[in-house]
Structure 1
Amino acid sequence: MNIFIGTVKKYCLFSGRASRKEFWIFFLVYFLGGVILSTIDFFLAWNGLLRTIWEVSLFLPFLGVAIRRLHDINRKGWWVLVPFYNLYLFSLDGEQEENSFGSIPVL
């Protein structure tokens, strides 16, 4: 959970690098939180209010960690605009030495 909170605190950080671990933990909590809130919305007949708040509030942190993850594999952040191919890119190992986007991430 500390990794998730740390990533949220870096919500407008689009430079630097993010490890696979940081990205996938954030993505898992983001996804599962959305599923849980959708279920609550369904039973309370709130028409997706909680999930919408969750998605909107975490959009920038998700975009930031996705761009930093792309930087870790030495790709420009614009690749985040290409759907589905990103899932493959996010699963690749990061560069094992400093690259043009910064030093190796700690996580």
Structure 2
Amino acid sequence: MNWYLAVLKKYADFEGRARRKEYWMFFLFNIIISFVIGILGAIIGETGGLITVSLSGLYSLFIFIPSIAVTVRRLHDTNRTGWWILIGLIPFFGAIILFIFMILDSDPNANAYGENPKLAPEPQ
């Protein structure tokens, strides 16, 4: 949960680097929250209804900018410019290439985007 909150604290911070753990924990918590919203909709009996769509829409809007920011910082961690995020717009192949970039290990040394985040303490 600390990794998720750490990304939210850097809401629109496109500078610096984000390690793999930060990116994937944020991704995991987004999936969990989406499932919870879907389950709440099913309990209420509104699957696909106004309440479920509204909750998921509001959550998507809330998380949109932090998702882009953490992805850009993750690309910086692999020593790539944040503009590589646009490769995800290419159908199918772009998403695969972006996925590969997200699973690559960090650049072990300092790069143009900052020091290696693995050397910093984990969020508490």
TM band (smaller chain) = over 0.9
Larger of the two Rg values belongs to structure = 2
Q: TM-score, normalised by structure 1?
A: 0.92
Cross-structure match for 1:40? 40
Secondary structure at 1:27 match in 2: helix
Query: Which of the residues 66, 76, 82 maps onto 1:77?
Result: 82
Q: CA RMSD in A?
A: 1.3
1:79, 1:8 → 2: CA distance? 22
Name segments (4+ residues, structure 1) moved above 3 Å: none
Q: Report how far residue 81 of structure 1 moved.
A: 1.6
Counterpart code for 1:90: M
Deviations 1:18-55 (A, max 9, x none): 00000000010012211221232244312411111111
1:14, 1:77 → 2: CA distance? 8
Task: From the two aligned structures, give the one with the greater helix fraction.
Answer: 2
> Given that residues 37 and 52 in structure 2 are in contact (C-alpha distance below 8 angstroms), is that contact kept between their aligned partners in structure 1?
no
Query: Which of the residues 91, 96, 105 maps onto 2:108?
Result: 96
Cross-structure match for 1:61? 66
> Given that residues 15 and 101 in structure 1 are in contact (C-alpha distance below 8 angstroms), is that contact kept between their aligned partners in structure 2?
yes
Secondary structure at 1:58 match in 2: helix
Counterpart code for 2:83: W
1:8-23 alignment, distance < 5 Å:
8-23=8-23
> Given that residues 14 and 73 in structure 2 are in contact (C-alpha distance below 8 angstroms), is that contact kept between their aligned partners in structure 1?
yes
Cross-structure match for 1:52? 57
Q: Does 1:87 align with 2:99?
A: yes
1:13, 1:31 → 2: CA distance? 22
Cross-structure match for 2:25? 25
Q: Which runs of 5+ in 1 are unaligned?
A: none
Overall identity of the aligned pairs, in %: 34
Q: Report how far residue 90 of structure 1 moved.
A: 0.3
